[in-house]
Structure formats: structure tokens, C-alpha cells
Structure 1
């Protein structure tokens, strides 16, 4: 009796969009963890669950809170789950990018000292969110499309 199964290497091959999702996921997970590490996050003793009063600053640049770090951890987990499926990877990148675009606009509209700044966000966060939005949506579309075209062949 012979088996007609594909070699292990072809069964576990990941598409480009899955790899990009995994990279974003790993970085988000790392950032979420580092947001709780003294020294890497300055003034960690002032961290709040949420709100603009948290004075904890990741890498001395990005204002963070417990909520902000948890969001990064969750984004990291979902990004890593994208390694399992091309569709999930593409959705993570595009939808996640849209979420970051909304956060960017939110950060521009809501005054930093306002109670509405619950994440909290500072100027560096706002512009990083813009870059993430563009990078995630673009890679989700470009690599998702290439993977889709390759799968049709």
C-alpha cells in the first residue's frame, strides 16, 4: 500500500502573508512584554491601568498603560495565529491596520490631557500608529494578493 501524501516540507510551507503576520505578531508580543519591564519602560512605577495619567514610557518615547500593553499582547497573539492560515493572516494585517488608522485619527482628534485619552496616546504613539496602519494594510493587500494568485496556479 502506497501513500500519496505531500512531503512534510510542502504541507507546512507558509505564504508570504502568513510570515509577515507572524513577524508583526512577534513584534507586538515583544512590545507588550517590554511595556512591563523596568528600565526598558521608564517610570514604570507610575503605570496606570488606563488613562492619560500613566507616565510610564516605553523606550523613553511611547506612553503606555496596562491596557495599552494588553492590546499589544493581544495583537501579538492574533498575529502569530496568522501563521496558521493565509486568510487569518491577511485579515489580521488589513483589519489590524484599519484599527491602527482609527487609533491614529483618534489620537489626533482627542486632546492628550483629555479623559477621552484612555489608552493613553502621545504624539510618538500617534505617528507610529499611522506607520503601522499603512504598513499593515499595504502588506496585507500586497502579500495577500500574491499568495492568492500563487494558490490559483
Structure 2
């Protein structure tokens, strides 16, 4: 079992839950199911929607399920990190006001996705290296 994968999974679960709490998510009444018209912001900074929060929850559940084995944990960390790097590229290339921005993502989300992607891949690589010794 990987403590790193469990920790990352718990963070995703917490973010998914916090995104549905009005006191923590500003403009909560403006939250949409999906898309860039959602004006809700987690911690007043990260644009979120119902879909965005559900993605965090599902990511956390998948991570916990995969964290039961070393191989699964590494797959979650490296694979999930790669997905977040793809989300970063997606976020910086789409037009923010277009229908393509269905999650939604903004500049704060993009930078967070970049950091998450790098951190998750790094944790996966470190976890794999420790297991190999």
C-alpha cells in the first residue's frame, strides 16, 4: 500500500467535497452542472462546477482503490499525473469562453494542474524507485 497515493487520493476527495460547501466555495449559487458559465470558485480562486467536483471525487475513489497495491499506487500516481499534465495543456490551449471549456478551467486551475501533474509523477517515480531497491 502506498501512503503517497492514499494521501493524494484523500486530498482529491476533500477537494471534491469542499467544492459542494457554500462557505468554502464562493458564488455557490452560480455553480453550474458544467461549463465556463459556472462562477463558483473553490476557496474563492479555482473555478468549479458540479462536473469538476465529481471528477475530484472519482479521482480520489480510483486512487484509494489502486493504492491497495504498490503497482496500482504507482499507476495511479504516474497515470493520474499524466492526465493532469494533459489537462494543463488542454486548459492553456482552449478558448476560456468556448463550449470546449466544459469542466471549467481557468488560469488558477491550469497552474494547479501543472503542479499536480509534476508532483504526482514525481511521487510515482520515487515510490517505484523505493520499491525496486
Residue aligning to 2:103? 119
Asked whether the equivalents of residues 47 and 55 of structure 1 are also in contact (C-alpha less than 8 Å), the reply is yes
CA distance in 1, matches of 2:19, 2:132: 36
CA distance in 1, matches of 2:132, 2:118: 21
Residue aligning to 2:63? 79
**Count of residues in correspondence between the two structures:** 133
* TM norm structure 1: 0.84
Shift of 1:148: 2.5
Residue aligning to 2:79? 95
Residue aligning to 1:107? 91
Bigger Cα Rg = 1
Asked whether the equivalents of residues 22 and 81 of structure 1 are also in contact (C-alpha less than 8 Å), the reply is no
Residue aligning to 1:56? 40
CA distance in 1, matches of 2:29, 2:128: 42
Residue aligning to 2:12? 28
Listed as ranges, the gaps of 5+ residues in structure 2 are none
Listed as ranges, the gaps of 5+ residues in structure 1 are 1-13
